[in-house]
């Protein structure tokens, strides 16, 4: 699969502080990758290098085959910063129109309408940014990132200010984007969100990748929960052991009502990977 984002041996130092210490990362076309890690792990720095806001100290990053930061690479990306603001005097339509002109998007009013609908802001089209709630501004930020139909979407904490309904809106939007073949690198602290939508998860710690894989690959088996007339119990084993466990229970005269394969949640995988570290 060709890469929407290919990062090799990426290093970033701020003076004596190493923010990224040799990161390798690959986001395939149409893939949705979640980036996890404690504060200061280097997630935002990685995203900023990918969109050309920060220069790498060593290593290289490519966006759709172009050097990250080049005009051609920036033509392929949509970016939502963790801390961003739009001019308060602009309304939603004007913000999108400004970005359409900067991105040389010929989408016109139909693109703006579609994007505002996608983030459930159609009714707020003429509302000024300063009159919007934080959640609405964040959804407008997501719409702005989608101007010009980017091939790679870099979202840095896109749901931090959203309520549960807003988060679901963004989640559905991400699923729609995946169906359209858009690649997404999603940087978020919301593990449940990452678990729900991402194809792969990458966990950063101290500027290095400490764990990566699909949510299923990362999950550790935690046994088999068996519900019988004698109650519920957890026995050691994996999915392959289920027929044997059920057979043994039936042979011993128990009535089996349910069996569930237990695996660790992404939260447990994450905590195990970062060792409970935070900053």
Partner 1 sequence: MNAVPVIVGYVLREALRRRVFAVVLLLTAAFLVLFWIANHYVHGELGRLQVPSDVPVDARTFASAFLSGLALFATMFLGVVLAIFLTLGAVRGDAERGLLQPLVVRPIGRSTFLFARFLGAISVTVPYVVAVDLIAVVITGLTMHWWPDRIATPALEVAGAVAVVTALSLLGSVFLSSTANGIAIFMLFGAGLVAGLLGTIGHAIGSHAIKHASTIASYLTPFEALYQDALRQLTESTSGLTGFLLQLGPFGGAYVHGWTVRVWALAFLCLVGAAALTAFRSRDL
Q: Is 99 in the site for partner 1 (CB under 8 A)?
A: yes
Stretch that binds partner 1, among 50-58, 117-125, 198-206, 253-261 (CB under 8 A): 50-58
Stretch that binds partner 1, among 83-91, 106-114, 224-232, 266-274 (CB under 8 A): 83-91
Instruction: Please name the residue ranges forming H helices in 198-256.
Output: 215-218, 242-251
DSSP 105: -
Instruction: Pick the closer one to partner 1 by CB: 50 or 274.
Output: 50
Say how far residue 59 (Cα) sits from the centre of its chain.
Answer: 23
CB of 230 to partner 1, least distance (A): 59
Q: Is 55 in the site for partner 1 (CB under 8 A)?
A: yes
Instruction: Pick the closer one to partner 1 by CB: 55 or 244.
Output: 55
**Can you give the three-state secondary structure of 31-60, one letter per residue?**
CEEEEECCCCCCHHHHHHHHCCCCCCCEEE
Instruction: Pick the closer one to partner 1 by CB: 86 or 270.
Output: 86
Stretch that binds partner 1, among 44-52, 114-122, 184-192, 202-210 (CB under 8 A): 44-52
Instruction: Pick the closer one to partner 1 by CB: 85 or 180.
Output: 85
Instruction: Pick the closer one to partner 1 by CB: 34 or 148.
Output: 148
Q: Which of 1, 2, 15, 83 binds partner 1 (CB under 8 A)?
A: 83
Q: Is 77 in the site for partner 1 (CB under 8 A)?
A: yes
Contacts 24+ apart (CB under 8 A), 157-162: 157/82, 157/187, 157/188, 157/189, 158/80, 158/186, 158/188, 159/188, 159/190, 159/193, 160/82, 160/188, 160/189, 161/134, 161/135, 161/137, 162/135, 162/138
- By the 10 Å C-beta count (0-12 exposed, 13-18 middle, 19+ buried), 245 is classed as middle
Stretch that binds partner 1, among 48-56, 119-127, 197-205, 258-266 (CB under 8 A): 48-56
CB of 67 to partner 1, least distance (A): 13
CB 176 within 8 A of CB 119: no
CB of 141 to partner 1, least distance (A): 8
Q: Which of 9, 29, 84, 265 binds partner 1 (CB under 8 A)?
A: 84
The Cα-based distances of 9 to 21, 109, 162, 226 in angstroms read: 8, 42, 34, 46
Distance CA 54, CA 52 (A): 5
Q: Is 52 in the site for partner 1 (CB under 8 A)?
A: yes
- By the 10 Å C-beta count (0-12 exposed, 13-18 middle, 19+ buried), 222 is classed as middle
Instruction: Pick the closer one to partner 1 by CB: 72 or 248.
Output: 72
CB 226 within 8 A of CB 252: no
Q: Is 180 in the site for partner 1 (CB under 8 A)?
A: no
Q: Which of 29, 40, 75, 113 binds partner 1 (CB under 8 A)?
A: 75
Binding stretches for partner 1 (CB under 8 A) = 14, 48, 51-55, 71-72, 74-75, 77, 79-81, 83-87, 89, 98-99, 101-104, 141, 144
């Amino acid at each position: 699969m060709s890469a929407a984002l290919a990062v090799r041996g990426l290093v970033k130092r701020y003076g004596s502080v190493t923010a990224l210490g040799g990161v390798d990362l690959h986001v395939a076309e149409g893939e949705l990758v979640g980036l996890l890690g404690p504060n200061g792990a280097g997630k935002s720095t990685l995203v900023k290098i990918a969109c050309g806001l920060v220069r790498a100290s060593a290593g290289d990053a490519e966006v759709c085959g172009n050097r990250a930061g080049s005009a051609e690479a920036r033509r392929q990306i949509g970016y939502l910063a963790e801390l961003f603001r739009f001019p308060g005097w602009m309304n939603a339509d004007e913000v999108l129109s400004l970005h359409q002109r900067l991105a040389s998007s010929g989408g016109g009013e139909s693109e703006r309408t579609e994007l505002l609908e996608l983030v459930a802001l159609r009714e707020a089209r003429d509302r000024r940014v300063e009159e919007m709630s934080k959640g609405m501004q964040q959804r407008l930020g997501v719409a702005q990132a989608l101007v010009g139909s980017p091939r790679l979407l870099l979202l840095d904490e896109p749901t931090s200010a959203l309520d549960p309904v807003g988060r679901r809106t963004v989640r559905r939007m991400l699923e729609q984007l995946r169906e359209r073949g858009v690649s997404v690198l999603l940087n978020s602290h919301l593990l449940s969100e990452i678990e729900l939508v991402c194809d792969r998860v990458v966990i950063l710690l101290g500027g290095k990748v400490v764990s990566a894989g699909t949510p299923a690959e990362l999950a550790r088996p935690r046994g088999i929960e068996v519900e019988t007339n004698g109650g519920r119990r957890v026995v050691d084993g994996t999915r392959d052991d289920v027929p044997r466990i059920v057979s043994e229970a039936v042979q011993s005269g128990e009535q089996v009502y349910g069996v569930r394969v237990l695996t660790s949640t992404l939260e447990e995988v994450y905590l195990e990977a970062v060792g409970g570290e935070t900053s």
